[in-house]
C-alpha cells in the first residue's frame, strides 16, 4: 500500500484567549455606544476608569516588564503585590507566563520560528494574531527562568491567576458602581472599555513599535523609537533603545521624553519601595548613537556618485571615525584597569585610581557628546550632497 500523505501541520485555536478577547471587545463596540447614547454615565465612572487604566498599564510596564522580565531594579514586597493585583486585572496572563514569553521575545527577536510575537510575521500577527492560535513559538520553557519560579509573589499569582484576573475585574467595577450608584456605567466604562484599551495599548509595543518610528541606536532588529506611541504605552514607545539596553529601568532616557513608568520607579526608590535601579552608562549610550550615525552616513555615501565636495566630507567622516575608535579604546582600557585594581584588592590604590578614572570617564563622555553632534551635522551635509547613482 502507498504511504499515506503526511497530515498538514495546523495550529489549533487558543480558545481561552480568543474567547476572552472576543467577549470583552464585542460589548465595547456594540452595547457601549448604545448605552452612551441612551444613558448618562457618571463622571466618577470615567475618572475611575482612567485611574484603573493607569494602574493596569503601569503594573504591566513597571512590574511585569521592567521588574520581572528584565530585572531592571528590585522592589519591596508591598510594591510587588500591587503589581500582581493590578497587573492581573489587566488580564494579560500571569507574571510567570508573561515575563517568560517576553524574555523569549528578546532572546529571539524577529525570528519567525522562536520569537512569540515576531514582527517579521506581519502587523496583525505581532499585535494580536499570535495569541489566537497555539503556535510552537508560544511554548514556554520555565527551566530558563529560575529567578521567577523562586519569587513567592510570582508563584502565588500564577497558582491563583484566575482569581487575580476575574475577581478584580468583577469586584472592583461592581463595588465602585454600587458606591457611586452607577453599576452599568462602571461595568461598561471602568470595566470593559478600560480592559480593551489596556490590552491594545500593550499590544502596540509588539506591533507598531516594531514597524513605525526611528532607529537611533541599532538597526539589528525591527524595534523602533516612537514618541507618539510612548503616550499610550506608559513610556514604552522608546523601543529601539530598549531592545539594545533592555536591563535599563528607563526607556525614555532624556529628561523630556514621556516615560511615566521611569518616573514611577524613581519615585518608589525615593520612598524606599525600590532599589538597585540599573542605568546604562552614558558612554555606552553615546557609543551606540554615534555608531549608528556612522552607519547611516556610509549608507548615504554608498548610494551616491562621488564628486569633489562629497570626497571632502568623506575624508572628514573617516577622521571622525579614527577619533571615535581611539576614544572607545581609551574607555575600554580604563575599564580593564578598574577590573585589575579590583582583583588586587589594594584599597588605597583603588580609591586613588577610581577618582582618576571617573574624571577621565566624565571627560570621555563629554567628548563623545560633542562628537555625536559633529557627526550628526556631517551626516546631514553628506545627505544634502549625495547624488543618487
Mean pLDDT, contiguous 10-residue spans, the chain (389 residues): 45 93 96 96 97 98 98 98 98 97 96 96 96 93 94 97 95 96 96 98 97 96 97 97 97 95 98 97 90 85 70 78 81 70 54 64 78 78 63
d(CA 173, CA 207) in angstroms, rounded, equals: 30
Q: Which three cell numbers stand for residue 280?
A: 546604562
Give the Cα separation of 363 and 313 in Å (integer). Answer: 27
Cα 86-92-94 angle, rounded to 5 deg: 75
Residue 207 backbone dihedrals phi, psi, to 5 degrees:
-110, -75
**110 DSSP assignment:** T
Q: Name the 3-class secondary structure at 133.
A: strand
pLDDT at 131: 96
Cell 585610581 identifies what position? 353
**Cα–Cα distance between 112 and 119 in angstroms, integer?**
8
pTM of the model: 0.88
Q: Using CA atoms, how far apart are residues 317 and 307, in angstroms rounded to an integer? A: 15
**Residue 232, CA distances (Å) to 203, 317, 348 in order:** 11, 39, 51
Phi, psi of 140 (to 5 degrees): -105, 145
DSSP three-state, residue 128: helix
How high is the pLDDT of residue 103? Answer: 97
Measured CA to CA, the distance from residue 262 to residue 250 in angstroms comes to 5
Closest CA to 187 of 201, 178, 162: 178
The alpha carbon torsion through 204, 205, 208, 213 (nearest 10 deg) reads 140
Question: Which alpha helices (DSSP H) does the chain contain, by range?
Answer: 15-29, 31-38, 43-58, 77-89, 95-107, 123-124, 130-132, 146-149, 152-159, 161-162, 168-180, 183-185, 194-206, 227-232, 239-244, 260-270, 282-302, 308-344, 347-385
What is residue 211's predicted lDDT score, i.e. its pLDDT?
A: 96
Structure confidence at residue 2 (pLDDT) = 46
Amino acid at each position: 500500500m502507498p504511504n499515506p500523505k503526511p497530515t498538514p501541520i495546523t495550529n489549533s485555536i487558543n480558545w481561552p484567549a480568543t474567547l476572552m478577547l472576543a467577549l470583552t471587545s464585542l460589548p465595547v463596540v456594540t452595547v457601549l455606544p448604545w448605552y452612551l447614547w441612551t444613558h448618562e454615565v457618571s463622571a466618577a465612572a470615567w475618572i475611575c476608569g482612567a485611574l484603573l487604566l493607569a494602574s493596569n498599564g503601569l503594573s504591566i510596564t513597571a512590574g511585569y516588564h521592567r521588574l520581572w522580565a528584565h530585572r531592571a531594579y528590585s522592589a519591596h514586597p508591598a510594591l510587588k503585590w500591587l503589581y500582581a493585583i493590578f497587573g492581573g486585572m489587566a488580564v494579560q496572563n500571569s507574571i510567570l507566563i508573561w515575563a517568560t514569553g517576553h524574555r523569549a521575545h528578546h532572546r529571539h527577536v524577529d525570528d519567525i520560528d522562536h520569537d512569540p510575537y515576531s514582527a517579521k510575521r506581519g502587523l496583525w500577527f505581532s499585535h494580536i494574531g499570535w495569541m489566537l492560535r497555539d503556535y510552537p513559538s508560544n511554548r514556554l520553557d520555565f527551566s530558563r527562568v529560575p529567578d521567577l519560579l523562586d519569587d513567592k509573589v510570582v508563584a502565588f499569582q500564577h497558582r491563583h491567576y484566575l482569581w487575580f484576573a476575574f475577581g478584580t475585574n468583577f469586584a472592583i467595577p461592581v463595588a465602585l458602581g454600587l458606591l457611586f450608584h452607577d453599576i452599568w456605567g462602571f461595568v461598561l466604562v471602568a470595566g470593559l472599555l478600560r480592559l480593551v484599551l489596556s490590552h491594545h495599548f500593550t499590544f502596540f509595543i509588539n506591533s507598531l513599535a516594531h514597524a513605525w518610528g526611528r532607529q537611533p541606536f541599532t538597526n539589528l532588529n525591527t524595534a523602533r523609537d516612537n514618541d507618539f506611541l510612548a503616550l499610550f504605552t506608559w513610556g514604552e514607545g522608546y523601543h529601539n533603545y530598549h531592545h539594545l539596553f533592555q536591563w535599563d529601568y528607563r526607556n525614555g532616557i532624556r529628561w523630556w521624553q514621556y516615560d511615566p513608568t521611569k518616573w514611577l520607579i524613581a519615585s518608589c526608590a525615593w520612598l524606599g519601595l525600590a532599589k538597585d535601579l540599573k542605568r546604562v552608562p552614558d558612554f555606552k549610550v553615546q557609543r551606540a548613537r554615534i555608531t549608528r550615525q556612522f552607519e547611516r552616513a556610509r549608507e548615504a555615501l554608498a548610494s551616491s556618485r562621488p564628486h569633489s565636495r562629497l570626497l571632502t566630507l568623506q575624508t572628514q567622516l573617516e577622521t571622525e571615525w579614527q577619533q571615535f575608535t581611539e576614544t572607545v579604546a581609551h574607555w575600554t582600557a580604563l575599564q580593564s584597569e578598574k577590573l585589575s585594581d579590583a582583583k588586587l584588592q589594594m584599597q588605597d590604590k583603588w580609591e586613588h585610581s577610581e577618582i582618576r578614572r571617573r574624571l577621565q570617564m566624565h571627560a570621555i563622555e563629554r567628548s563623545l557628546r560633542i562628537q555625536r553632534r559633529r557627526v550628526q551635522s556631517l551626516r546631514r551635509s553628506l545627505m544634502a550632497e549625495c547624488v543618487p547613482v
